[in-house]
Chains A and B, each alone.
Chain A
């Protein structure tokens, strides 16, 4: 993470697969976690309650996006199976949880894993074509899954809860206390984002994760060295869809509603953009991507609101800012990918390796 490491060489497999490569890593993670725990009261103290709600709401959106992006990265980045159906799996999770919460009155700690598991089951089924096809062909197959899921939800009142295809859900309650404000919901989302990150880090350093990477790099070679391709490809789809399902459930509880239009194909594309910008095949990359894609439009708006008034009238700005947001966003993505095709994660690693021996570069 943020510590400097130097003169450290791995000599055993156990060391190579360790979650904390150095004892100092534990400290960094611990400090980081403590920082995140005190973030809401800290923001409140600095900016006041009203502004803190706003800043924490941005963090909340990022936390939800992080879970979804990590899930997609396990499938696309680690296993090399492209998927354009991620939002479809999110909606499976969202509607499963919403139906369970409303019809059976179950609390979130049951509906959330249930939503994830349902999405995993559907995802494993959707993953079956991946056993025969690859690349763009698989992309089209998952696109079909996205459209089929959309259609089924839209046309089955038993799932969608009526013609509006939206189910209102009560706020998540902890010991009977409903979490309502952004700062309360923050802890709810933080818990699952941390679980998602820890889970993903452990998956990718274990036997399963290595099997995924082997399949991505050369599936025939992977099969020859004894990896069960059938099993691991479907596992990748199931795990990724589980993450997507959980993302859908988090959205449902965060917004208080499961809504069909949150999970259309454009959402799938957004998540693909996140992991490509952040860096394929890395957990940290997915996190960077989620932060970047969520935060950049907001920062561009803030920047333009402040400096744009020097050059333009408010009426012109109202027209210019949205266009600028799209333009600068697109431009920055191109610039980043030209500078560093492996994404923000690689950029971060470059910075770290520069400082690893700093200031004694030679």
Chain B
């Protein structure tokens, strides 16, 4: 019983201490960070989240945003929805002005709540494509190219690679058989009509580590001219290996954003195996950006080694990008209200909606977020595996914005 009392007292002390530390940091601006370092998508989270924190630390070390320090409060939700809801409420309790969401089911589960609480959340690379509509989802910001924009970008890229016309060409769409995998289908079908190519879809059932039959079907029976893949987890690496095995040129393959990291290449047997593989990216890849140099310098000043997570640049840079958009929104909000003002979620929303022309040395696309377009344009860069690493093939571009817009509007009318 004594032990029980002691642990109870310890827990009570813990709560008091938390309250105390929260008080001392009252002037800091809190931004909530959802993360998954231990759940279903941990291979992403372990690189993504350090990027978020390193960039926050860098900004703070340079004096913060308009003189205000930012506290990135991370909560790991293990990719579970109840834990995600709890983490959002915790962020709200700590006074977070905006939240970096993580995971499609969490975005969906929190969309209604965020609008009621007037706290903006961002969902780059997940959530639904229809949430680009800022009038319908006022507090949800996809900020990066949705799966619809990625579908359009991949068709645009294929067109470019196949000599400027897709008429009579055959495109295969190899996708993970879940809602996210199926989301781009209507856009692809539309573009097939528009550009006059033949589209056939090949579903890969979960867990997606077996796709020999689909790949054979694509290369031997259908004889595709170009392959667009939209896969998650371990399956992108399997697709690379299988396509390589049957001798399909990887230069005629383009992968959506979750099949395009260094980790996928490594899992396929190293970048040498994947030579020629094309990837869509919504943030810059590689370490040739000023922000990387500054982060290294920050670590060197503190006599520490730069974290090895920096070497997985696709996810690490997406982490930087994700936080950078929030900090830009915060900068806009502080500029509008005065540097010492108390910032609310609604101020942040306005801040997000006036983001324009911030590029972070090319790491960020030329986003222009408006009250109606929360996707910021749907910008994509293509990186190709060349000589053992991902190298830039195209500059930032957006494809078929009219088609995407039509679909967003149609989805808004549906409900």
The interface of chain A, by Cβ under 8 A from chain B, is: 50-51, 53-54, 57-58, 61, 64-65, 102, 154, 160, 162-166, 168, 171, 180-182, 255-257, 259-262, 266, 270, 294, 297-299, 301-303, 305-307, 309, 314-315, 318-319, 321-323, 325-326
Given A301-B75, A318-B74, A322-B37: A166 touches B128 (CB 8 Å cut-off): yes
Tell me the smallest distance from the CB of A326 to a CB of chain B, in Å: 5
- The segment from B87-95, B289-297, B343-351 that touches chain A is B87-95
Tell me the smallest distance from the CB of A301 to a CB of chain B, in Å: 7
Report the bound CA distance from A109 to B50 in whole Å. 46
Which residues in B have their C-beta under 8 angstroms from that of A261? 81, 104-105, 108, 178-179
Listed A/B pairs (22) with beta-carbon separation below 8 Å? A51-B93, A54-B89, A64-B82, A154-B182, A163-B179, A163-B185, A164-B128, A164-B183, A168-B415, A171-B112, A255-B109, A259-B109, A260-B178, A261-B108, A266-B80, A298-B86, A303-B11, A306-B14, A318-B35, A318-B37, A322-B37, A322-B38
> Is there an interface contact between A61 and B85, defined as CB atoms closer than 8 Å?
yes
Given A61-B86, A65-B82, A255-B112: A318 touches B53 (CB 8 Å cut-off): yes
Please indicate which of the listed interface residues A171, A182, A266, A319 has the most CB atoms of chain B within 10 Å of its own CB: A319
Which residues in B have their C-beta under 8 angstroms from that of A266? 40, 80
Which residues in A have their C-beta under 8 angstroms from that of B113? 255-256
The interface of chain B, by Cβ under 8 A from chain A, is: 11, 13-15, 17-18, 21, 35, 37-38, 40, 49-50, 53, 57, 74-76, 78, 80-83, 85-86, 89-90, 92-93, 95, 104-105, 108-113, 116, 128, 130, 177-180, 182-183, 185-186, 414-415
Nearest A residue to B109 via CB reads A255
Which residues in B have their C-beta under 8 angstroms from that of A325? 38, 76, 78
Closest 3 CB pairs of A and B: A256-B112, A322-B76, A261-B105
Tell me the smallest distance from the CB of A99 to a CB of chain B, in Å: 12
Report the bound CA distance from A58 to B85 in whole Å. 9
> Is there an interface contact between A257 and B111, defined as CB atoms closer than 8 Å?
yes
Report the bound CA distance from A171 to B49 in whole Å. 33
Which residues in B have their C-beta under 8 angstroms from that of A168? 111-112, 415
Report the bound CA distance from A256 to B130 in whole Å. 17
Pick from B11, B105, B128: contact of A262, CB under 8 Å: B105
Pick from A162, A255, A302: contact of B18, CB under 8 Å: A302
Which residues in B have their C-beta under 8 angstroms from that of A163? 179, 182-183, 185-186
> Is there an interface contact between A294 and B89, defined as CB atoms closer than 8 Å?
no
Which residues in B have their C-beta under 8 angstroms from that of A102? 415
Report the bound CA distance from A307 to B109 in whole Å. 31
Nearest A residue to B89 via CB reads A57
Report the bound CA distance from A64 to B185 in whole Å. 35
Report the bound CA distance from A57 to B186 in whole Å. 37
Report the bound CA distance from A319 to B52 in whole Å. 13
Report the bound CA distance from A109 to B109 in whole Å. 22
Tell me the smallest distance from the CB of B97 to a CB of chain A, in Å: 13
> Is there an interface contact between B86 and A57, defined as CB atoms closer than 8 Å?
yes
Which residues in B have their C-beta under 8 angstroms from that of A180? 116
Pick from A165, A257, A302, A323: contact of B179, CB under 8 Å: A165
Nearest A residue to B81 via CB reads A262
Which residues in A have their C-beta under 8 angstroms from that of B111? 168, 256-257
Pick from B18, B37, B83: contact of A306, CB under 8 Å: B18
Pick from A164, A182, A270: contact of B89, CB under 8 Å: A182
> Is there an interface contact between A259 and B108, defined as CB atoms closer than 8 Å?
yes
Tell me the smallest distance from the CB of B366 to a CB of chain A, in Å: 28
Known: A54-B89, A57-B86, A322-B76. 14 other contacts (CB 8 A): A54-B93, A57-B89, A160-B179, A162-B414, A164-B183, A168-B112, A181-B116, A260-B178, A266-B80, A309-B21, A314-B53, A315-B57, A319-B37, A321-B76
> Is there an interface contact between B177 and A154, defined as CB atoms closer than 8 Å?
yes
Which residues in B have their C-beta under 8 angstroms from that of A171? 112
Report the bound CA distance from A164 to B104 in whole Å. 10
Report the bound CA distance from A321 to B37 in whole Å. 10
Tell me the smallest distance from the CB of A314 to a CB of chain B, in Å: 8
> Is there an interface contact between B112 and A257, defined as CB atoms closer than 8 Å?
yes
Which residues in B have their C-beta under 8 angstroms from that of A257? 108-109, 111-112
Report the bound CA distance from A66 to B74 in whole Å. 28
Report the bound CA distance from A18 to B399 in whole Å. 70
> Is there an interface contact between B17 and A322, defined as CB atoms closer than 8 Å?
no
Which residues in B have their C-beta under 8 angstroms from that of A298? 86
Report the bound CA distance from A315 to B46 in whole Å. 12
> Is there an interface contact between B18 and A305, defined as CB atoms closer than 8 Å?
yes
Report the bound CA distance from A298 to B95 in whole Å. 18
Which residues in B have their C-beta under 8 angstroms from that of A53? 89, 92-93
> Is there an interface contact between B105 and A259, defined as CB atoms closer than 8 Å?
yes
Tell me the smallest distance from the CB of B357 to a CB of chain A, in Å: 31
Tell me the smallest distance from the CB of B125 to a CB of chain A, in Å: 15
> Is there an interface contact between B109 and A297, defined as CB atoms closer than 8 Å?
no
Which residues in B have their C-beta under 8 angstroms from that of A303? 11, 14
